[in-house]
Amino acid sequence: MKDNRPHVFVLATGGTIATRGSSPSETTGYPERQGKKEGVGLLAEDLIASIPGIEERVRLSAESIFNVSSSSIEEGDLLRLAKRVNALLKEDVYGIVITHGTDTLEETAFFLHLTVKSDKPVVVVGAMLPATAFSADGPLNLYHAILTAAKPESRGKGVLVCMCGRLLSARDAAKTSTFRMDAFKCMEYGALGHVVGGDVRYYYAPVRPHTASSEFYVEKLDALPRVEIVYTWQGCTKELLKAAVEGGADGIVCAGMGCGAIPPEPREYYRGLSKKPPLVRGTRVFSGYTAAHGATPDDVYGTIPAGDFTVQKARILLQLALTVTKDIKEIRAIFQKY
């Protein structure tokens, strides 16, 4: 008899969702019982076992590609993950769920949003509480993510973040709290949909290029351009920016003030450089849009406005942009496009 259940592949990478605390009440400060070594922390099969009955609705495969805290994920891990996802999506897989630590979940999801070359569903999910905690959120989040990956309406939506019942575009999802269960939100644009009672519902769809329509390819990449983030504050000097430049950064993102203003000393230092790595003006403000700014006009200083990207996402987009062009005008156009 033909099995009509959609085939969902669960890729585990570690994180709080795969962590055991020492007691049910330990919800913060739990040690990092994970590492690069296989078998440390809960593996993909363990996570699936936490949601009994799910295989009545989907056919599951599972793999632990690595098992680390997301604060320990490196760019080589991102490339490995993206290549594995692209390889799996060429097979008999309806959708993919990636379990991930929440510290850098938004960065991994956005990287995949720009580098996955398929319109099949890819859903990134994590947990705010370890697996051993009272009312651990990991099993329900994973259940929702698997249902989302199996839903026909999830195709073509780009990479999704599924947390606390919300379905968020990876382009805009951000962790907004260090401890609240509903930490993940899209501050400016809101959720694409939600999962309630096992029912996946969408109300909106992303319109900016992503996944199969992006121009970024990772298959032949062994490394990514080095892009640093430099913070600003009242009266800040040029020293951090200078260190990034002299340290050989391929590009720099500045967490500027307000609408991306760079203070006088660092901006004049950058302006005076004979050879400049591309500099993207982002903002240290929690949300909003970095547009043209009178204090740091882009045509004078040769800078690139980040638009509505957070500095950590602007860094990822600049890294990928530098794999296709070094031209400042073309990089500006990429930031406007995505």
pLDDT on residue 201: 98
Q: In angstroms, rounded to a whole number, what is the distance separating the alpha carbons of residues 278 and 215?
A: 19
pLDDT at 21: 77
Query: Are the C-beta atoms of residues 252 and 272 closer than 8 Å to each other?
Result: no
Burial 219-235 (b: 16+ CB within 10 A, else e): eebeebbbbbbbebeee
The helix-helix angle for 239-246 and 264-271 (nearest 10°) equals: 30
> Among residues 292, 323, 324, which one has the least CA distance to residue 306?
292
Cα dihedral 121→84→309→246 (10° resolution): 180
On whether the CB atoms of residues 173 and 161 are closer than 8 A, the answer is: yes
Note the pLDDT of residue 41. 79
Strand partners, 97: 10, 123
Quote the tokens at residue 150: 């199996």
Q: What is the pTM of this model?
A: 0.95
Active site residues: 16
From first to last of the 338 residues of the chain, give the pLDDT tens digit: 678 899 999 999 999 999 987 777 777 777 655 444 443 579 999 999 999 999 999 999 999 999 999 999 999 999 999 999 999 999 999 999 999 999 999 999 999 999 999 999 999 999 999 998 899 999 999 999 999 999 999 999 999 999 999 999 999 999 999 999 999 999 999 999 999 999 999 999 999 999 999 999 999 999 999 999 999 999 999 999 999 999 999 999 999 999 999 999 999 999 999 999 999 999 999 899 999 878 889 999 999 999 999 999 999 999 999 999 999 999 999 999 99
Give the pLDDT confidence score for residue 38 in this predicted structure: 41
Tell me which amino acid residue 200 is.
Answer: V
227-231 vs 199-202, strand pairing mode: unpaired
